[in-house]
Amino acid sequence: MPAARHHNLTVPDHKTLRADAERQVKDELGQIPRPDDRFKRACEIVQQADLEIAAHAEERNEAAMSLWFYDGVRGLGNVLGMVPNAYRQMRRIALYGERNAPLTVDDERMSAEERQAAAKKAGLPHIKDAAGRLPSLAATVSVATARRKAAMPFLQDAALALTEEPYGWTTDRISELGDTTPKYVRDVKNAAMRRRGH
């Protein structure tokens, strides 16, 4: 993966990784003519992406927080592929257990000893090989998130198309096809309608 070095960490090229992942999904789903086939495949892509995110995001976050709190590595937002506010929110959750907790200037300017004490108090693990694992974990989550994002409009539009003529499928029938719930089908169909301005 083309990369720059950052604090001895490889910085994944998140922009390219995401663009490639989105293009592959759009190319694949765009070639499926039938809405039932497209819905089923889009569901598979979204479900697979959700599994990958669930399997790797927490480990990614723990590695990043270990590097920041215990090793004092700055600028991890670039390695994570996150905008500064999202990275700040990750630190708030790590320190205080909630995304909207205030992160004060004092929190940002803690000494190494204060950071380590705060991490121990918050129960954050010190991960010895965090620097080696973080770039790969961050890239995996980035790609899965991009694939999910690219598949959702196809999934939503296909669900809506299947409820309309000439198909007229029920949400129960559509949910069975995608191995989802009827509520999920209603939600994605409604999202497609909102995108159309209904």
According to the model, what pLDDT value does residue 92 have? 84
CA–CA distances in Å: residue 76 to residues 56, 95, 110, 120, 147: 17, 16, 16, 20, 23
According to the model, what pLDDT value does residue 89 have? 86
According to the model, what pLDDT value does residue 99 have? 73
CA–CA distances in Å: residue 104 to residues 40, 100, 101, 107, 110: 46, 12, 9, 5, 10
According to the model, what pLDDT value does residue 7 have? 59
φ/ψ of residue 90, rounded to 5? -60, -40
According to the model, what pLDDT value does residue 180 have? 95
- Kindly report the number of other CB atoms within 10 A of residue 4's CB atom: 10
According to the model, what pLDDT value does residue 91 have? 86
Q: What is the pLDDT along the chain (198 residues), one digit of tens a residue?
A: 333 334 578 899 999 999 999 999 999 999 999 999 999 999 999 999 999 999 999 999 999 999 999 998 888 999 999 998 888 888 888 888 877 776 665 566 788 898 899 899 889 999 989 999 999 999 999 999 999 999 999 999 999 999 999 999 999 999 999 999 999 999 999 999 998 887
Residues 6+ apart with CB under 8 A from 58: none
**Paired residues of 9 in beta bridges:** 6
What does the DSSP assignment read for 115-141? HHHHHHHTT----TTHHHHHHHHHHHH
Residues 6+ apart with CB under 8 A from 140: 52, 56, 60
According to the model, what pLDDT value does residue 5 have? 35
